[in-house]
Amino acid sequence: MIGTGLPVRLQTILFTLTLFVALPCVSAEVEGVRLWRAPDHTRLVFDLDGPAEHKLFTLQNPDRVVIDVSGATLGASIADLPLTDTPISGVRYATKDKRDLRVVLDLKQPVNPRSFALRRHETLPDRLVIDLHDRDKVEEKTIEQVQDSGQRDIVIAIDAGHGGEDPGALGPGGLREKDVVLAISRYLHEAIDRKSGFSAKLVRSGDYYIPLRDRVKKGRQLRADLFVSIHADAFTRKDARGAGVYAVSSRGATSETARFLAQRENESDLIGGAGSLSLSDKDDTLAGVLLDLAMTATMNTSLDVGSSVLNAIGSFTHLHKKKVEQANFSVLRNPDVPSILVETGFITNPDEARRLRDPSFQKRMAEKLSEGIVSHFTSRPPAGSWLASNGSRTDRKHTIARGDTLSGIAARYNISVADLKRANRMDTSMIRVGQTLTIPSG
C-alpha cells in the first residue's frame, strides 16, 4: 500500500486513483464515414464505437474546416466519399500529438460549419455530425410574390418522412421507409401539380435529413394550405396492416397504435440529429400554447382533409382504421397550417412491404392521395385562390369508400341528394365501393 501510518481505507482509495491516472485514455475508433448533400447544407457523419470529445474550427487562405477528435483513430475509408456538388474539394486526416485524430476538409468556398455529438440510440452507434451550411444562397421566389401576380394556387407541402442519417422503419430485405416515402412523395408531387389551381412543394427532395421542427417551419414559410407528411411505419406485431391518416391531438392519442407511431416518429431527431434543435420542455410548452391559441378551424380542417384522403385511399387498399386518428406527432404541430400524417402501410408486414416496394403501388397510392386532397379543396376552395373563382368550371369527383352513403356525400359537399343523383343519372340511392361520382357545383 501507499505509505504507512495512513488508514487502510484511505490507502486503498489513493492506490486506486494512482492506477486510474496511470491508465492510458480510452480511444474511440471511427468505424464509418458517410456524407449527404441537402439543398442548403452538407452533412458529414462519423460513426464511433464509443463517445469522444471533439473540437471544430475554420482556417482561411485556403478555406478549410478542421475537426480534432480526442483519442480517436480512423478505421474507415474516406477515399470514396461523394464530394460532387458539395463545398468540399477533399478530405485529409492525420494523427495530432500522437493521440488525437485530425480531419481536414478542404473547401471550394466558405461555409458556416456546425457540429454536435449523438449518443448511441437503439441500433445506431455514437456519432459525430458535421453540418456545413451554404453561404449566399440565391433566394427563391416567395409564395407571397407569386400570389401578387394573380389568383393564387392552393399550395400543398409534401413531407417525405425521415431521410439521410435516419432510415425510418425497416422492412424485409432491407426495405427502408425513407426510400419508399420519398418515391410516393415524388409521385404525389407530380399528381397534384397536374391539377389546375394547385401547386405542390416537396419539403424533402432527396436523401438527407431535416429536423422535425424545420419541416413544420418549411410548411409555414411556403404558406401552405395543407402539410402532408408521408410515412410507412412499423409496429411491434408483424400482422399489423393497413393505411391510416392522422391529425394532431392536443389531448393524447386515440389508440395504442397511434401512441406508438407518434413516439417512434418523434424520436427521429434523436436518430437523424437535430442538435440544439431537439425539442425541450420549454418548446413543448410553447407548442401547446400555440395550438391552444390557434383557431380551432385549423384542426377541424385537418380532420376534414384527413377524412377525404382516407375515403380515397380506402377505395383501393386496406385501412388500419376507418376514421382519422389523432396523436401528438411533432411534425403536425403547426398552429396555422392544416396538417395530416399518412401511413401508407406497415413496412413490417411482409405482404404490405412487397406492395410498398412496388412502383406501381407507390404511384397508385399517390394518385389516391391526390384525389382526396383535391376533392377536399374543390369543395371548400380557400378565398383568393384560382379554384375559388374557377371551381364551378372544374369537375369534382368523389370515389365511394366503405361507410359512404349518398346523403352523407351530399351533406359533405353542401348539395342536395336530388342534385347529386341528377348529375350522375341515378335512379336509386344504391352506391358501391370504388364507384366514382361527379359532384355538381353547390
Q: What's the pLDDT at 123? A: 75
Q: What's the pLDDT at 270? A: 56
Q: What's the pLDDT at 289? A: 47
Q: What's the pLDDT at 290? A: 41
Q: What's the pLDDT at 20? A: 43
Give the 3-state DSSP-derived string for the chain, with helices as H, strands as E and coil as C.
CCCCCCCHHHHHHHHHHHHHHHCCCCCEEEEEEEEEECCCEEEEEEEECCCCCEEEEEECCCCEEEEEECCEEECCCCCCCCCCCCCEEEEEEEEECCCEEEEEEEECCCCEEEEEEECCECCECEEEEEEEECCCCCCCCCHHHHHHCCCECEEEEEEECCECCECCCECHHHCEHHHHHHHHHHHHHHHHHCCCCEEEEECCCCCCCCCHHHHHHHHHHCCCCEEEEEECCCCCCCCCCCEEEEEECCCCCCCHHHHHHHHHHHCHHHHHHCHHHCCCHHHHHHHHHHHHHCCHHHHHHHHHHHHHHHHHHCCCCCECCCCCEEECCHHHCCCCCCEEEEECCCCCCHHHHHHHHCHHHHHHHHHHHHHHHHHHHHHCCCCCEHHHHHHHHCCEEEECCCCCCHHHHHHHCCCCHHHHHHHCCCCCCCCCCCCEEEECCC
For the stretch 202-213, pLDDT in tens is 999 999 988 888
Q: What's the pLDDT at 252? A: 59
Q: Which residues of the chain carry a pLDDT beneath 70?
A: 1-26, 136-150, 250-254, 256-257, 259-297, 335, 391-396, 441-442
Q: What's the pLDDT at 423? A: 85
